Amino acid sequence: MKYDLKQEIPLLATTALPIVYALYLWNSLPEKIPTHWNLKGEIDGWGSKEPFIIFFITIPVFIYILFLVLPMIDPKKKLQKMGKKFYRIKFFMILIMSLLAVFALYSAQNQSESSIKALLALFGFMIVGLGNYFPAVKHNYFIGIKTPWTLENETVWKETHQMAGKLWFFGGALLTLLVLILPVESSFIVFLVGMAVLTLVPLVFSYRKYKGLKS
C-alpha cells in the first residue's frame, strides 16, 4: 500500500492532537494525578503526571504506526484490498484513541464522577463504531474477530462479522445510554457485563457456525 502524504495528513493531525493538548495543559496539571478509580467512581490510585501523559499521548501514535505497518506485513494482502474501508477504520480508531487521550488529560485536571461515566460512554461509542465497520472487514490475520474458526473458514468469518456488526452496533448504543443514566457503580457493572456478552456471543457463534458447516 503506497504511502500517500496528502491522505495521511488528517490522520497525522488527529494523532498529534493529544500531544498539542498535553503541551497546553502541562504547567496547569498537578504533579500527582489520579490513575485509578474503584467501582464507586472514587479515586483510589495516584501517580506522577509525566508517565501518565507520556502513556496516553503515545497510544494514538502506536495505533497510527500499527495501521501503517499491518498492510505491509499482511501475507494475503486482504487489508490492501479493503481500500477506503480500511482507511476509514484506521481513522476511526486513531480518532477514538486521540479522544481517549485528550479526555484522560482533561479528567486529570477536572476530577469528578462524571468523568468516569463519560469515559465509559466513549468506549461505548467505540463499540458502536466497530460494529458499524465489522461487516466490511475482509478475512485477515490482524483486525476483526479472530477466533480459530473465523480464521479457518472464510464463510464463518463473514457471517460472524455480519452478526457481530449488528450486535456491537446496537449493544454499544445501549451500553452508552445505560452508563450515562445509571449511577457510577452500576455503570461499571453494566459495562463489564455488557462487554462480556459482546465478546462471548461472537465467539460461540463462530464455533457453532463452523461445526454446522462441517457436519
Q: Are residues 56 and 10 in the same domain?
A: yes
Q: Are residues 1 and 51 in the same domain?
A: yes
Confidence (pTM): 0.85
pLDDT of residue 29: 83
- CA–CA dist 77, 45 (Å, integer): 44
- CA–CA dist 213, 19 (Å, integer): 49
pLDDT of residue 113: 56
Domain end marker among 111, 142, 159: 111
Domain end marker among 67, 94, 111: 111
Task: Show the cell assigned to 166.
Answer: 449488528
Range scoring the smallest mean pLDDT among 6-15, 44-53, 131-140, 196-205 = 44-53
Amino acid (1-letter code) at residue 194:
G
Q: Are residues 5 and 81 in the same domain?
A: yes
Burial status of residue 6 (CB atoms within 10 A of its CB: 0-12, 13-18, 19 or more): exposed
Q: Are residues 107 and 121 in the same domain?
A: no
- The domain total for the chain is 2
pLDDT of residue 111: 63
**Residue at grid coordinates 485536571:** 109
Question: What are 194-203's pLDDT values in tens digits?
Answer: 999 999 999 9
Banded pLDDT at 41 (limits 50, 70, 90): low
Range of the domain at 124: 113-215
Question: What are 45-69's pLDDT values in tens digits?
Answer: 777 888 889 999 999 999 999 999 9
Domain end marker among 111, 127, 151: 111
Q: Are residues 1 and 96 in the same domain?
A: yes
Please give the mean pLDDT across all residues of the chain.
90
Q: Are residues 16 and 120 in the same domain?
A: no
pLDDT of residue 197: 98
Question: What are 69-107's pLDDT values in tens digits?
Answer: 999 999 888 898 888 999 999 999 999 999 999 988 888
Range scoring the smallest mean pLDDT among 10-24, 101-115, 158-172, 182-196 = 101-115
Q: Are residues 3 and 103 in the same domain?
A: yes
Residue 114 has pLDDT above 80, yes or no: no
CA nearest 93: which of 141, 135, 125? 125
